[in-house]
Structure 1
Amino acid sequence: MQLDSSKRGFQPHRFRYWLTEEEDPQREEKIVEGCQVYAQAAERAKRGERTISMDELTGVQALERKHPDLPMQPGHVLRREFEYIRHGTLSWFIKFDVVRGQVIEPSWGPRRTEEDALAHLQRLIASDPTATKWHIVLDNLNIHQSESLVRWIADLEGIEQDMLGVKDKRGIHHSMASRAAFLHDPTHRVVFYYTPKHASWMNQVEIWLSILVRKLLKRGHFISLDDLRDQMLAFMAYYNRTMAKPIKWTYTAY
């Protein structure tokens, strides 16, 4: 008697994603430091310091369902039309205030470039001239360790541009690692903390983004890019008004 292939453990119609871990020699150090950033945020806020968790949400689609949903009924879940009309995408820069538990100063547009990231961060710092220091948690995306970002921070710190070296050749601009080290300097007014590779769960804004996806985007119906923008901004305002609270970060890395 022959057994069905699925009963022998072969299921060629199925597959599972796999992520090959990239070595990060500073992984434990970064996790410990990230936990300390969150743990000390409230105390630092008393001295006028801000702690921000930042990430991007790219390619958010404005999808309009071709026909209305069929509402839930006893014994039947909500049924959604399979066909849709695509109205384009928006890329978002989202910032989460760790102490206040609120989403602040979002930016959106058709792209997510080095120039966009720099402008987004510049608007953040300009939004609160009274802040004595900024602590910003973000991932290792190359636009978070860019030449233009280094030049901006150097200007803020009064560092001469010719002291920065040449991109991909020497000095602070030599590599992404050297630029990240400069941007992480704790003596700066704006300090960047980078999560370890493949550890985006260390970034608190990821928790908020999952709320956004579950409560709005997953079941969203958007008739245009403007409608998508307006609904997302309305959700952020609603969240800040009725749901916002600091995330209770219990992970200690030990």
Structure 2
Amino acid sequence: MRQVCQLYESAAELEAHQIHLVSTDEMTGIQALERLHPDQAMQPGQPRRLEFEYERHGTLSLIANWHVALGKVIAPSIGPTRKEFDFANHIAKTVETAPDDGWVFLLDQLNTHRSASLVRWVAVCCGIDSDLGVKGQSGILQSMETHTAFLSDPSHRIRFVYIPKHTS
């Protein structure tokens, strides 16, 4: 937890060195609802009446980044799923906003935040030309622990800091 607090405290200094500190999380299962009829306007002596019937259009997942130094949301993603591929694409889209800068992402320990897709993307983006191994068998791609160690490496221009379990 000390590392997380120190990062928040140093956000402005990091930003001065073109390193963006971003807190990232998801909200899943957001219902996409459409009211069937318009609300009725307020009349003298009566409040506005809100329509209660609606049509469901499925659910959406929001992945958002809070840029700590700037105090604003940057590069949010909204889509129908929250899978490994969706999260890796979200991170890529975020980094594209300042592709040559450093990035530190604060996030929880969800499996999609430590996926093989994310490891591969970080390796390419950071110019790490080493054998990553085989998913589930060897090398960096062997396990969640090896993924996490690689993604957390402070020598990488793009790195991830995972908050302790049960603290989000």
The answer to whether the aligner puts 1:126 opposite 2:96 as a matched pair is: yes
Larger radius of gyration: 1
Could you say what the CA RMSD is over the residues aligned between the two structures, in angstroms?
Answer: 2.3
CA distance in 2, matches of 1:78, 1:165: 62
**Is the CA contact 1:91–1:111 (under 8 Å) kept in the aligned structure 2?**
yes
Aligned with residue 4 of structure 2, among 31, 34, 38: 34
Question: 1:178 — aligned with what?
Answer: 146
* Structure whose residues are more often strand by fraction: 2
Say if 2:108 is the partner of 1:139.
yes
TM-score scaled to structure 2, two decimals? 0.86
User: How far apart are residue 78 of structure 1 and its match?
Assistant: 8.2
Task: Report how many aligned residue pairs link the two structures.
Answer: 166
After TM superposition, the structure 1 = structure 2 runs for residues 18-167 of structure 1, keeping only pairs within 5 Å, are 31-66=1-36, 68=39, 83-131=53-101, 133-162=102-131, 164-167=132-135
Pairwise CA distance, 1:37: 0.9
Quickly say closer, same or farther: Cα 1:158–1:64, change in 2 above 3 A: closer
Letter in 1 for 2:121: W
1:171-206 CA-partner distances (Å, limit 9, x unpaired)? 211111110111000000001011111111xxxxxx
2:133 is paired with a residue of what secondary structure?
coil
Q: Which runs of 5+ in 2 are unaligned?
A: none
- Answer whether contact 1:151 1:161 (CA < 8 A) is retained: no
SS in 2 for 1:117: helix
**Within 1, Cα distance between the matches of 2:139 and 2:49?**
59
Q: Which deviations, in whole Å up to 9, do the C-alpha atoms of 1:52-110 show, x marking residues without a partner?
A: 11111112112234563797xx9xx9876654321222211111110011111111111
Answer whether contact 2:24 2:105 (CA < 8 A) is retained.
yes
- When you count helix as a share of all residues, which structure comes out higher? 1
In structure 1, list runs of 5 or more residues that go unmatched: 1-30, 201-254
TM-score, normalised relative to structure 1: 0.59
Contact 2:126 2:158 in 1 (8 A): no
Paired residue type of 2:69:
V
CA contact (8 A) 1:49 1:134 kept: yes
- CA displacement at 1:49 relative to structure 2: 1.1
Q: State the identity as a percent.
A: 48
